[in-house]
Structure 1
Amino acid sequence: MNKKILVTLGPSSLDQQTVEQCTALGVYVFRINLSHTPIENLEPTIKLIQSWTDTPVCLDTEGAQLRNGLMASERVEFHTGSRVKIHRSSIVGDETNISFNPGYVSDQMGVGDEVQVDFNHVRFKVLEKSDDHFKAEILSGGTIGSNKAADVNRDLNFDPLTEKDYQAIEIGLANGIENFAMSFANLPEDVMLMREKCGAGANIICKIESPSGVQNLERILDQTDEILIDRGDLSRRVPIERIPFLQRRIISIARSKQVPVYVATNLLESMVTTLSPNRAEVNDVVSTLEMGSNGLILAAETAIGKHPVEAVKMVRALIDEHDRWTPNTSIAEILRE
């Protein structure tokens, strides 16, 4: 079992039976996504997982990213052509009001900027700027829930770690956590900061999910222990038709430097709602393994999906088939009973 499986825990899987079943399938780490875990819940969650399994826990930071604030519901509708206020302080959003965190980043927005929220591609264009808000036009409508990732069509200045990240790292270290994933690692200096805070003995997994991270990839590889390609966030800033080729190049460069590389996002997305993946998904998983990926990350499939254990079983089955395969494998061997 050389290829590793990293499993994200969430509402669908944070229970003893699921964690024990996943452990039996040879999971490498159980990931806690700090973007969706209140800081007051973190230590109890870590202790709970550790009481169920000896498989290590990995804390995944919020990092250098923009997210919208709390919304009045999880499906607030925004209509193309309408106007909206983007508030510079936190508010509860509705169909005509929204805010973004961290506040110091949203303050950097200016007239002409375009803001895209979540994968529903709700898109705003900033038209006016005042002391306490921006006025924007909705270029592309859709629904938005609370705490969704967002992007602006130019580079903004972010701190590599949030205040919550610093608190979470301290909590993790106090509870024996040794694996830390750094979201939006953009510069080698970001990794050096992460190393300083987590300690020399920590295993740092840098998430490559921005153009800056890709452009600085080789220098990041010199500082990190492992990397993770987040295809979802990358596709917010890079045309989606280029993502397969970017994935190939990143894997190749990481392998040339002997740094383990994992791949995430939409691997078995249909299993969020269905018991089986589709044919394109299983081909994607096997193709990713054949490119030289050292492992795969299940996110929504196990965090919020209806069939978390079945998703892990499917990845394990695909890894096992990949391990059996050689260029000389016969049709009879593939069709074995």
Structure 2
Amino acid sequence: MPNTKKTKIVATLGPATSNKDIIRDMINAGVDVFRINFSHADYDDVKERIAMIRELNEELGIFTAILADLQGPKLRVGVMGGEVVVSPGDEIVFETGEPFEGDAERVYMNYQNFPRDVNPGERVLLDDGKLIFEILETDHKKKVKARVVQGGPLKSKKGVNLPNTNISLPALTEKDVKDALFAIGQQVDWIALSFVRYSQDLIDLQNLIRENSEHKIPIVAKIEKPEAVQNIDKIVSYCDGLMVARGDLGVEIPAQEVPLIQKKLVLRAKKARIPVIIATQMMETMITSLTPTRAEVNDVANSVMDGADAVMLSGETSVGNYPVQVIEKMSSILHSVEGSDLIKVPQEPPHIRTKRYITKSVCYHAALMANEIKAKAISTLTNSGYTAFQISAWRPSAHILVFTSNKRILTQLNLLWGVKAFYYDRFVSTDETIEDVNAIACKKGFLDVGDMLISLAAMPIKAKGMVNTLRVTEIETCSF
């Protein structure tokens, strides 16, 4: 039987995963998508890893995807001279301009507009919220004076969050444009944009992709700012997937509010029928330990039960000691919970009559019918991948088998919950095509004699139009 895990695993590449054998073992253990974190990426290294992944796809006959994750406007303090510890009540000056070595009285800030954007009374959070400062005054040019509210060691190059400040920096920085152009040149499958706040952030990246690529590269909007949560309806209209990036989100928003926001965002993605990835600190203890905590196991399981398409590992696979074992452990959690009746996803039928209304409706009824007649699989022929997104979002218990002659989308679809994609380019008559597809599904171990199959197709087949036909077949022979 093939690997039947339906929830996808996204694993971050890094020093711990630089070797082809380890990447192969990770794929075999259950990785569906590899993430390249452009906050720490060397272009030559990235090219090498991408080549390895594509070679393994060829060797293993699979379609592992590549997600390029842009850094976004990451604010940081500069290098500190020696060990600096600040205490509550201390005053410190944040300064922009030319970089300098910081001390307990003044520290460099890499964000040049910082003095112009902030106001007295606002908070500055450092090192994932471990240090908290309150702004006392700004000269609106170079210097900002702040008081320490929560102290501790002030370390070099730590990230800065401004939860109350409306920052003027665009989500797509100069570095991101350069990284995006490199990623487009490497023909990655997905691009994630960090610190998205408004729909315009996504439109800018879409335009960049359109101008520099003949193929569409879908965009994942990373939700890690309060403004993104408020603007989620508009953001969803301009992206192809969401990532609940709980690291920065849990610093910008009180941590206790994140669980309900996670549920809200997953539900919003399901209604929009786009995939959603849950990320950050999922199996953090497995960076150095062979065993996750009970709470981490629960967190991964609950993300699946909320309806996540994918769960993501960061440090666990990029710098951790056990990159293969963490994937095995995560796969076993996914297998154990994803078939549960306790998982409920929104089942409302499509009602807005767009030009794709017929296709949406056919996909919706295919998912419902598959559950009703206990079909083993739903197969669909697609050129754009649209039907795969639709069927996946309704979470049928059947396998979702997608057949396409468009090689570009084979790997893209690997992020979608429950979707297995296959290359197929013999679009002849409906009967012959469906027979072919059934034979492939049998050969791959998804179907057996007596199983029910729902086949979706666009008639006429050769036109490769929108899906308009649903056909139910009982498998009588599994010859191939």
With the length of structure 2 as denominator, give the TM-score of the two structures.
0.63
Give me the whole-angstrom Cα distance separating, in 1, the residues matched to 2:80 and 2:44: 27
Deviation at 1:180, TM superposition (A): 0.6
1:47 is the counterpart of 2:47 = yes
Give me the whole-angstrom Cα distance separating, in 1, the residues matched to 2:116 and 2:319: 33
In structure 1, which of residues 240, 248, 268 is the aligned counterpart of residue 283 of structure 2?
268
Contact 2:129 2:251 in 1 (8 A): no
Deviates more, 1:251-260 or 1:149-158: 149-158
Show the counterpart of 2:100.
91
Residues 5, 159 of structure 1: alpha-carbon distance in 2 compared, 3 angstrom cutoff: same
Deviation at 1:139, TM superposition (A): 1.6
Deviation at 1:258, TM superposition (A): 0.6
Show the counterpart of 2:324.
309
Show the counterpart of 2:59.
none
Show the counterpart of 1:172.
183
Show the counterpart of 1:109.
118
Give the total of aligned pairs.
322
Query: Aligned with 1:306: secondary structure?
Result: coil
Give me the whole-angstrom Cα distance separating, in 2, the residues matched to 1:308 and 1:157: 38
1:159 is the counterpart of 2:163 = no
In structure 1, which of residues 188, 191, 202 is the aligned counterpart of residue 199 of structure 2?
188
Deviation at 1:49, TM superposition (A): 0.3
Give me the whole-angstrom Cα distance separating, in 1, the residues matched to 2:245 and 2:66: 19
Deviation at 1:92, TM superposition (A): 3.0
Show the counterpart of 1:332.
none
Show the counterpart of 1:36.
40
Contact 2:283 2:316 in 1 (8 A): yes
Deviates more, 1:259-268 or 1:53-62: 53-62
Contact 1:23 1:53 in 2 (8 A): no
Deviation at 1:224, TM superposition (A): 0.8
Give me the whole-angstrom Cα distance separating, in 2, the residues matched to 1:172 and 1:71: 33
Contact 2:115 2:143 in 1 (8 A): no
Larger RCO, structure (CA 8 Å, separation 6 or more):
1
Deviates more, 1:235-244 or 1:76-85: 76-85
Show the counterpart of 2:90.
82
Mapping 1:133-152, distance limit 5 Å: 133-152=143-162
Contact 2:115 2:142 in 1 (8 A): no
Give me the whole-angstrom Cα distance separating, in 1, the residues matched to 2:109 and 2:33: 31
Deviates more, 1:78-87 or 1:174-183: 78-87
Residues 106, 166 of structure 1: alpha-carbon distance in 2 compared, 3 angstrom cutoff: farther
> Unpaired segments of 5 or more residues in structure 1?
328-337
Deviation at 1:76, TM superposition (A): 4.4
Give me the whole-angstrom Cα distance separating, in 2, the residues matched to 1:155 and 1:35: 23
Residues 95, 52 of structure 1: alpha-carbon distance in 2 compared, 3 angstrom cutoff: farther
Mapping 1:231-242, distance limit 5 Å: 231-242=246-257
Alignment root-mean-square deviation, CA: 2.1
What is the one-letter code of the residue matched to 2:159? A
Query: Aligned with 2:17: secondary structure?
Result: coil
Deviates more, 1:129-138 or 1:311-320: 129-138
Deviation string for 1:24-65 (max 9, x for gaps)?
Answer: 22322221222233xxx2x20221102321233322112134
> Unpaired segments of 5 or more residues in structure 2?
55-63, 343-480
Query: Aligned with 2:48: secondary structure?
Result: helix
Contact 1:105 1:158 in 2 (8 A): no
Give me the whole-angstrom Cα distance separating, in 2, the residues matched to 1:72 and 1:242: 36
Give me the whole-angstrom Cα distance separating, in 2, the residues matched to 1:69 and 1:205: 30
Deviation at 1:237, TM superposition (A): 2.3
Show the counterpart of 2:6.
2
Query: Aligned with 1:103: secondary structure?
Result: coil
Larger Rg: 2
Mapping 1:258-337, distance limit 5 Å: 258-326=273-341
Residues 22, 144 of structure 1: alpha-carbon distance in 2 compared, 3 angstrom cutoff: farther
What is the one-letter code of the residue matched to 2:8? K
Contact 1:221 1:257 in 2 (8 A): yes
1:123 is the counterpart of 2:127 = no
Deviation at 1:245, TM superposition (A): 1.0
Show the counterpart of 2:242.
227
Query: Aligned with 1:53: secondary structure?
Result: helix
Contact 2:117 2:166 in 1 (8 A): no
Query: Aligned with 1:92: secondary structure?
Result: coil
Residues 70, 288 of structure 1: alpha-carbon distance in 2 compared, 3 angstrom cutoff: same
Contact 2:191 2:217 in 1 (8 A): yes
Give me the whole-angstrom Cα distance separating, in 2, the residues matched to 1:18 and 1:71: 36
Give me the whole-angstrom Cα distance separating, in 2, the residues matched to 1:78 and 1:19: 43
Query: Aligned with 2:166: secondary structure?
Result: coil
1:23 is the counterpart of 2:33 = no
Give me the whole-angstrom Cα distance separating, in 2, the residues matched to 1:204 and 1:69: 31
